[in-house]
Structure 1
Amino acid sequence: MRDFLPADKARRERVLAVIRERYRAHGFDEIETPVMEEYDRLHAGVGGDNEKLAFNVLRRGLDADAVRAAADDQAQLSDLGLRYDLTVPLARFYASHRGELPAVFRSVQIAPVWRAERPQKGRYRQFVQCDIDIIGDASARAETELIAATLDALDALGLEGATVRINDRRALDAMLDLFGFPVDERPGVLITIDKLDKVGAEGVVAELRGREATASAVDALEAFLTRPQTLEFLPFGEGQIRKALPEGVADEIVAHLVGIGEAVGAARGADPVGGELPLQFDPFLVRGMGYYTGTIFEIAHPSVSYSLGGGGRYDGMIGRFLGQDVPAVGFSIGFERIVDLVALAEASAAEAVVLVHDRDVPAAELLALKAALIAEGSRVRLERRTKNLKGLLERATTDGYTAFATVSAGAQRDDLELKPLS
């Protein structure tokens, strides 16, 4: 959990403003949910490993004896917890407010979440997520809107070279079925396959054999992984998708993925037949959240080895709170991971001025000068002159100020000579 100095905070807000503006342009409306949710909701079995990283809140009113008595039962100790993502709160929000929302609801949530992580670069215990979700649309149009809006936001941030990797959990399940993995082995097999980009095909196969997964199924997977062909499947199209999957995966799944590619291509003005898109079909993209039911996606960038965001379809989650299934799909930008890659210019709409004044200048005069500059559209800071004027101006430059003027007693607005800070 970190502090941010003014310059860092200003930079983060500029990036967030771009993301918000682009998402709003695509028809998404921003909501806000509480930082805490009920313990049972956060630990309902849909959050994968993130549930283990949740910060739980001790029940009020427990004395020492009650705490000791419930030491082995976290559900008795805690009734609330800090949210570890924004999807679980959104599902609860929609279930609570469905009657006040449109039939197809497009939401934006940009807010901090908390996980008891082991801190490292790009991974913190408190971090901001930027989520867009569409609830109430079961068609591929929803995935298309999310991907198009996310790519638009990345373009607006100047994050060139980003690619959206796409897969479908139904295709993964079909592959494991065709290879011969029993249903009870598949969750563990997927965890191992998710390491493919880190340990390679040999590492995946070795780990599965070490876990004593079904030998014939591991043999089939190994044969598939070591086929003499590339895993680069651009442009995104039917031929490439079929080439990447084993024979026998349902045509419906392939058509769903192809339709997404064609629609995103149309949204970006690309040739839908052969025009290169920043999309890549990855047949071994897994994503670990337990609530995904269909299409899944991640943002990849050549400058880093980790993903910059991701999401997918989670049609079964809202039904847990509402009592009836509602289709839903979401895409999250990992703000902490992209903010350091983005180089946005300082806001230039208004000049930022430091008024360096002598000790004897009356407060009324200073405030009148400040008000006059603000009325002209400037941002203004008052600073009393120090012996180290150079250091004062360097700090002002670091804080985003662009000009300064010195002020003596009796000075009027026309007397101020604004000099650039460099």
Structure 2
Amino acid sequence: MTKLFDTFKRYMRIAAGATLLSSCTIATSEDSRFEGAGRTSSEARETAGIAAAIQNQIETGQIPGAVVMIARHGEIVDLVSRGYADLENQVPIQQDTIFRFYSMSKPITCAAVMTLYDDGLIGLDDPIKDYLPELSKMQVRTPDGLVPAKSDITIRNLMTHTSGFAYAVLPNPAQQDYIDANVFAIKNRLTESLEQHVKRLAQMPLVAEPGTKWNYGESMGVLGRLVEVVSGKTYGNYLQDRIFDPLNMIDTGFYVPASKSDRLAQLYHMSNEGVLSNANDDIQYGGSYLEKPQLEYGGAGLVGTPRDYMSFANMLLNKGSSNGRRILSQQAVEMMTTNQLDASFGDSPLEAAGRGPGTGFGFCGLVTVALPEGSDPGSVGEYGWSGWASTNFWMDPANDLIGLVFTQVIPDDIGSIMLSHNVREVIYSSDSDQRE
């Protein structure tokens, strides 16, 4: 699992890299409406700047291609696709290309849990053991060995990554326990159910007392199982009924059916030496997403299109409403998108994820609480998250703006982090130009 460890560790830090893959012919955007007549000079410069940012990363071999979608005031103002969804067969990447969301599944899981909250079926400070008894007697891995947890894990702890659960592929005090037990949902999505996964996870020690430390891990998978137990439906069916159908997310699910298989992007891995290789069916990354999985994993299992995710993000920006239909209460969205970590977590609570001062955490996503010198352009109050294979989104209420950056390269320090930085530079400088 060495390659898996290396890529996941890189995923959790901000970095950049480059390689060479410049011999490919570059596919161009299929949607010229955002590049031609009828646009102001500032708008045209913005779209051209985004296209140039994508093109640069393609030509230096860092990504095979990308889709960038920017919305302002509820309207898509930039839609740029460049490069390939499939390098080997030179299939152009397009706005209806289907991507693996990986951890961008997490905010969707949060929304599903908040529908239960809105319906009065759960309380956020309820102990999870009230719904999943297998999580009743947790232990904590300490330097002195295993000790019983002093506090119960709550739903709020799971929503904020303060439950104490970890990932097998990230350094932590319980990492060897996870490795020895082969507990990693992404790798095992084809071979075990969500119920089986959570019951095995319950045997793992926690890395900290619940509610005391932010630690990236398997928490959102537990939340998916919570949804199943409370609703009486499979997790996938519940998402379909309460999130996907109401938001017209027609291409989002836990796998790609045969009728849409030609639209699934190939998955690529970037080595430490800067070489891209096809990782499409690598079981370490979840295997084939053309096969229906046993495990409908709330932490990293979904696939879908940028258009679908834009619909979800726009609902959040609209405080829970979409096309006149309420998906979440305004209160639920405000809790999701407000920092939930108090001063006891320090100035850099997400330091383990490569995030310094100015970044807090809401429910299942980061929240910008300040913009220290050297930060990416943006606004206080932003909410968003990214995925392992270089998908990224953020919503900026102060500017009524949503940004999506989608490609399919593991790890995302080359893909979405670097490209998102460059896209931000373009769009926020454009906003500044328009105000002057």
Q: Same fold (TM over 0.5)?
A: no
More helix by share: 1
TM range (shorter): 0.3 to 0.5
Structure 1 or 2, whichever has the larger Rg, is: 1
